A and B are shown apart, each in its own frame.
Chain A
Amino acid sequence: MPREFLEGNHAMAEAAIRAGVQAYFGYPITPQTELLEHFSQRMPELGRVFLQAESEVAAINMVYGAACTGARVMSSSSSPGVSLMMEGLSYIAGTEVPVVLIDVVRGGPGLGNIAPSQGDYNQIVHGGGHGDYHPIVLAPSTVQEAIDLTVLAFDLAEKYRAIVIVMADGNIGQIMEPAELPPMRPLRTEYPDWAVRGTSGRERRFLTSIYIDPVDEEVTNFRLMQTWNQIQANEVRYKEYFMDDAEIVVVGYGTAGRVALSAVRSARLEGIKAGLFRPVSLSPYPYAQLEALVGGARAFLVTEMSAGQMLDDVLKAVKGRVPVEYYGRMGGMVPFPDEILAEIQRISREPLTVTFDPRQGWMKRFAPIVEAEKSRN
Chain B
Amino acid sequence: MESTPQAQIVYQRPRSLASTPTSYCPGCTHGVAHRLVAEVLDEMELRERTIGVAPVGCSVFAYKFFDFDFVEAAHGRAPAMATGIKRLLPDRVVFTYQGDGDLASIGMAEIMHAAGRGENITVIFINNAIFGMTGGQMAPTTLPGQKTTSSPTGRDVEQMGYPLHMSEILSTLDGAGYVVRRSLHDPKNIRMAKKAIRLAFETQVRGLGFSMVELLSTCSTNWGMTPLDSLRWLEERMIPVYPIQDFKVVQALAELRL
Residues of A whose CB lies within 8 Å of any CB of B are: 22-23, 25, 49, 51, 53-55, 57-59, 61-69, 71, 73, 87-88, 91, 95, 196-201, 204-210, 212
Contact = CB atoms under 8 A, between A and B. Distances in A.
B88 A196 contact: no
A57 B77 CA distance: 8
Given A25-B84, A69-B89, 6 more contacts: A51-B83, A61-B73, A62-B87, A67-B84, A91-B73, A197-B69
Interface string B102-123: 0000000110110000000000
Interface residues on B, range: 35 or more
A212 B60 CA distance: 10
A65 B80 contact: yes
Contact of A61 (B48, B61, B68, B77): B77
Q: Shortest 3 CB-CB distances between A and B: which pairs?
A: A65-B84, A65-B81, A66-B84
Contacts of B88: 22-23, 49, 66, 69, 71, 73
Interface stretch (B4-12, B49-57, B137-145, B211-219): B49-57
A240 B103 CA distance: 52
B74 interface: yes
26 contacts: A23-B84, A25-B84, A49-B87, A49-B88, A53-B80, A54-B113, A58-B109, A61-B73, A61-B74, A61-B81, A62-B81, A65-B85, A66-B87, A68-B81, A68-B84, A68-B85, A198-B49, A199-B47, A200-B49, A207-B70, A207-B71, A208-B54, A208-B70, A208-B72, A209-B72, A212-B61
Most buried by A among B49, B63, B69, B84: B84
Nearest to A196: B69
B82 interface: yes
A333 B83 CA distance: 39
Nearest to B62: A206
Given A65-B85, A198-B49, A208 B74 contact: no
Contacts of B80: 53, 57-59, 61-62, 64-65
A85 to B, nearest CB: 11
Where chain A touches its partner, the secondary structure class is mixed
Nearest to B63: A206
B235 interface: no
A61 B110 contact: yes
A54 B79 CA distance: 12
Contacts of A53: 80, 113
Given A69-B88, A198-B50, A58 B77 contact: yes
A25 B83 CA distance: 10
A61 B72 CA distance: 11
B168 interface: no
B81 A64 contact: yes
Interface of B: 18, 47-51, 53-54, 60-61, 63, 66-74, 77, 80-85, 87-89, 92, 109-110, 112-113
Nearest to A67: B84
A61 B53 CA distance: 12
A197 B92 contact: yes
Given A23-B87, A68-B71, A69-B89, A198 B81 contact: no
Contacts of A25: 84
B87 to A, nearest CB: 5
Contacts of A208: 54, 63, 70-72
A25 B74 CA distance: 17
Contacts of B49: 198, 200
Contact of A198 (B60, B61, B74, B92): B92
A199 B69 contact: yes
B83 A196 contact: no
B84 A197 contact: no
Contacts of A68: 71, 81, 84-85
B14 to A, nearest CB: 14
Contacts of A95: 71-72
B204 to A, nearest CB: 14
Given A57-B77, A63-B84, A196 B110 contact: no
A196 B84 contact: no
Contact of B72 (A54, A197, A206): A206
A57 B85 contact: no
A309 B113 CA distance: 38
Most buried by A among B54, B66, B89: B89
Contacts of B18: 204
Nearest to B77: A61
